[in-house]
Structure 1
Amino acid sequence: MKDQSQHPNQLLPFGEAGRGAGALYIHIPFCKQACHYCDFHFSTSMKKKDELVAMLCREIVLRKGELPAGELQTIYFGGGTPSLLSSEELKLIFDTIYEHFTVAEDAEITLEANPDDLSREKVEVLKAAGINRLSIGVQSFFEEDLRMMNRAHNEVEALECLQMAKEYFDNISLDLIYGIPGMSEERWKENISIALQLELPHFSCYALTVEPNTALKKFIEKGVIKPVDDDAASAHFEILVRTLKEAGYVHYEFSNFGKPGYFSKNNTAYWTGKPYLGIGPSAHSFDGKKRKWNVSNNSLYIKAIQKEELPYEEEELSTTDRYNEHVMTRLRTMWGISLEEVEKEFGSSYKEYLLEQAKPLLQDNMLELTHNRLHVTAKGKFLSDGIAAELFLVNLE
């Protein structure tokens, strides 16, 4: 398969540059149990679920004017565990969205799901509700990994739910985690092999990270779990990239691999600077120049929306902030950083600064400049975020 990164105008987000009026994200802050590595906002108590769903719908109404005019290209249910939503709750949310937004006929509508929730009945409910893409959080096909992460499913449920979901959905993404303490290269290769046998069109693969205030961090500090090994994670990443490329997948973003036509429109909107509106506790929004984030507390969120108050904080991004974020997000993708776009958006001085900062990285073969775009090389790919930091502008405006 040809290296598509050498042809940045091919396989562009949304099929063409600039398409997509906006993205809508719905945060469902409920889980059956807490995964040891997770630092997202959620509750294992379902007591306020009905009330919170009603307030999600109310927030949609209150904030519908924050996205630019045009059709919604993506709707994404994240969490938490959105597959815990009932058919009635999904209907209520979708009725509200379609009443207050124009949704494109070919909109990508994704729901994150856990294998233990995906009975045949549940999959039929999701399909009937209007979901057309599932993102299934398997993380590993090995029991020891699942137990260590405190996942609610087992390897049998993972395989059975994926095979069954394929009967209803063409567009399925599978999540896997690498760099797990004690995971050998052979076990990681076997994880990838099992995943490939399912013939799914998309994979999202993440290195296990130790976040503050998580059970994983406490277990590592106490010696219950071995520390995460960055060298092992790097080796797993190289195996992943090589194997999926050989299998015909395009590595279009650092953590994401898809067959052509199956790249995530929702996440690509984030990486390419499209505006998005986040609904629900802890959800983030971005309009191109300003960032907002909702309170990460279900009770406070509900009380505020009941009073028709918007429970978010916001910050106006400086030009330097926007430039740094532009560099960080674009460099993670196969499209890289367009020098023309940098000059148009930020001015010639920023473009000149970027090229000057890139010189040693180009000499070290960590970056390459092709088609007037900066890309991370194969050598530098696992270090993408660190390379981006080398290109940041740190002086005050």
Structure 2
Amino acid sequence: MIIEPKRKRKNSSPLGKLEGASGGIYIHIPFCKQACHYCDFHFSTSLKKKDELINALTKELELRKDEFKSTNVETIYFGGGTPSLLTNEELQFLIDTVYNNYQVSENPEITVEANPDDLSVDRIIKLSKSRINRLSIGIQSFFEADLKLMNRAHNATEAKACLEEATKHFSNISLDLIYGIPGASNAQWIQNIDMALSFGVPHISSYALTVEPKTALASFIKKGVIEDVNDEQAHEQFHLLKEKLEASGFIHYELSNFGKEGFFSKNNSAYWQGKSYIGIGPSAHSFNGKQRGWNVRNNSKYIKALAVNELPIEIETLTQTDQYNEYIMTGLRTIWGVSIQKVENDFGLNYKDYLIEQAEVFINQQLLYIEDKHIRVTKKGQFLCDGIASELFKIN
């Protein structure tokens, strides 16, 4: 694995060009009203540098357009942080910058992550009249106790009200739910799922509450203020979620994602299928199949670099083994699985033989199975698939 050092670049693209393909653009908005106790993403609770940051995002988009010179942009995704803290005009300004510098497909998926407290009736209506055609709403839970434990900025009433209004104006909505919350029973989790389903949204993303180092949640658990997460209960709630959503017509197309037919996230699916994407903004990551890049995780340093036309990015060139491991990790999480033929075609016979040999023990344990020359996880193995994938990795 080769790590390229930071170096100044003026008016040049750091990653190699991708010719004649499709890709996506991810724009990281590093601002939040307050810090959720479980979050370790990059953000600031101060909006003082918002205007400077938007100008820097625009500059990075312009400087990196050659990376997608012959590439069709199929998805534009605003993540964070909390992108809904930007005004409609600011979001539109960034979207216009993409259109002015890139080839954009006729009907791109344009997603904005939003928190319920930012989605007033007027805001939703105005968003629906823009180019934005998909909302990803951070509900997390419909219970006040859960929201307070996580230090969310919204309350349960706002969560329900925003979904009631958003579903009137957007057909493509995803909502986030978190399971494995300390103190939240299985019965309460089922109520959360039922409430989400009652709004008729076509996509749900759901994640186990994870205790990340150096977060407030980790500190509270260490001090005994909050009880530790229960992995066994999280496992149970994952299977309750899967059972309920599949019974309601959702397809479990990726470990944490469930969608109705025609409503899979195009942005996320492209990531899992190894398509290229450009990450814009502080801490954003990029990928072109052979290289991975990541921007500096500091708003001030990011803004200063772009002010003098420099790209504050580090690049990692992936070895063949890195690319194989990447494919195993992403492929195993999805309904598409890992193609044995693709492994042989892209990496060679030795990699294919290694994969089948390593997979055999998990096949015997009924955690993996082979069908149509694809390796997939069983229902029993789904919750464990990241750990299984790591056992299939090849070490140089």
Q: TM-score range by the shorter chain?
A: over 0.9
Equivalent positions of 1:152-191 (< 5 A) are 152-191=153-192
Contact 1:257 1:263 in 2 (8 A): yes
Q: Distance in 2 between matches of 1:20 and 1:373?
A: 24
Q: Which runs of 5+ in 2 are unaligned?
A: 1-19
Deviations 1:301-321 (A, max 9, x none): 000000111001111111111
Q: Offset at 1:129?
A: 2.8
Other structure's SS at 1:233 match: helix
Contact 1:20 1:73 in 2 (8 A): no
Other structure's SS at 2:64 match: helix
Output the amino acid matched with 1:76.
Y
Moved more, 176-185 or 97-106: 97-106
Q: TM-score, normalised by structure 1?
A: 0.94
Q: Distance in 2 between matches of 1:195 and 1:181?
A: 20
Q: Distance in 1 between matches of 2:330 and 2:347?
A: 16
> Could you say which residue in structure 1 is the equivalent of 2:300?
299
Q: Distance in 2 between matches of 1:299 and 1:350?
A: 44
Q: Offset at 1:156?
A: 0.7
Q: TM-score, normalised by structure 2?
A: 0.94
> Could you say which residue in structure 2 is the equivalent of 1:256?
257
> Could you say which residue in structure 2 is the equivalent of 1:325?
326
Q: Offset at 1:285?
A: 0.1
Q: Distance in 2 between matches of 1:88 and 1:369?
A: 50
> Could you say which residue in structure 1 is the equivalent of 2:352?
351
Q: Distance in 2 between matches of 1:128 and 1:306?
A: 32
Contact 2:69 2:102 in 1 (8 A): no
Contact 1:22 1:68 in 2 (8 A): no
Q: Distance in 1 between matches of 2:304 and 2:311?
A: 10
Q: Distance in 1 between matches of 2:165 and 2:348?
A: 52
Q: Distance in 1 between matches of 2:89 and 2:74?
A: 24
Output the amino acid matched with 1:194.
M
> Could you say which residue in structure 1 is the equivalent of 2:74?
73
> Could you say which residue in structure 2 is the equivalent of 1:233?
234
Q: Offset at 1:20?
A: 6.0
Contact 1:21 1:68 in 2 (8 A): no
Output the amino acid matched with 1:305.
L
Other structure's SS at 2:34 match: coil
Other structure's SS at 2:22 match: coil
> Could you say which residue in structure 2 is the equivalent of 1:58?
59
Contact 1:220 1:226 in 2 (8 A): yes
Deviations 1:347-368 (A, max 9, x none): 1110110001011111111100
Q: Distance in 2 between matches of 1:129 and 1:58?
A: 22
Deviations 1:126-172 (A, max 9, x none): 22331100000000000000000000111110011001001110000
1:113 aligns with 2:118: no
> Could you say which residue in structure 2 is the equivalent of 1:383?
384
Output the amino acid matched with 1:99.
N
> Could you say which residue in structure 1 is the equivalent of 2:284?
283
Counterparts in 2 of 1:120 and 1:20: CA distance versus 1, 3 Å? farther
Output the amino acid matched with 2:384.
L
Q: Offset at 1:91?
A: 2.4
Q: Offset at 1:68?
A: 5.6
Equivalent positions of 1:96-111 (< 5 A) are 96-111=97-112
> Could you say which residue in structure 2 is the equivalent of 1:372?
373
Output the amino acid matched with 2:388.
I
Stretches (4+) displaced over 6 A: none
Other structure's SS at 2:201 match: coil
1:218 aligns with 2:222: no
Q: Distance in 2 between matches of 1:246 and 1:127?
A: 30
Output the amino acid matched with 1:329.
T
> Could you say which residue in structure 1 is the equivalent of 2:6?
none
Contact 1:67 1:275 in 2 (8 A): no
Q: Distance in 2 between matches of 1:68 and 1:99?
A: 12
Other structure's SS at 1:167 match: helix
Q: Distance in 1 between matches of 2:295 and 2:151?
A: 27
Other structure's SS at 1:213 match: coil
> Could you say which residue in structure 1 is the equivalent of 2:27?
26
> Could you say which residue in structure 1 is the equivalent of 2:243?
242
Q: Offset at 1:124?
A: 2.4
Q: Distance in 2 between matches of 1:125 and 1:63?
A: 30
Other structure's SS at 2:97 match: helix
Contact 2:251 2:260 in 1 (8 A): yes
> Could you say which residue in structure 2 is the equivalent of 1:8?
none
Contact 2:202 2:260 in 1 (8 A): yes
> Could you say which residue in structure 1 is the equivalent of 2:335?
334
Moved more, 67-76 or 374-383: 67-76
Deviations 1:213-261 (A, max 9, x none): 1100001011001001100100000101111111110000000000000
Deviations 1:290-349 (A, max 9, x none): 110000110000000001110011111111111111100000000000111111111111
Deviations 1:31-67 (A, max 9, x none): 0111000000000000000110011001000011123
Contact 1:67 1:276 in 2 (8 A): no
Output the amino acid matched with 1:176.
L
Q: Which runs of 5+ in 1 are unaligned?
A: 1-18
Other structure's SS at 1:374 match: strand
> Could you say which residue in structure 2 is the equivalent of 1:209?
210
Q: Distance in 2 between matches of 1:320 and 1:147?
A: 44
Counterparts in 2 of 1:375 and 1:151: CA distance versus 1, 3 Å? same
Output the amino acid matched with 2:254.
E
Contact 1:134 1:172 in 2 (8 A): yes
Q: Distance in 2 between matches of 1:45 and 1:122?
A: 22
After superposition, the CA RMSD in angstroms is: 1.0
Other structure's SS at 1:21 match: strand
Q: Distance in 1 between matches of 2:112 and 2:82?
A: 9
Q: Distance in 1 between matches of 2:274 and 2:96?
A: 28
1:88 aligns with 2:76: no
Q: Distance in 1 between matches of 2:189 and 2:21?
A: 36
> Could you say which residue in structure 2 is the equivalent of 1:141?
142
Contact 1:188 1:236 in 2 (8 A): yes
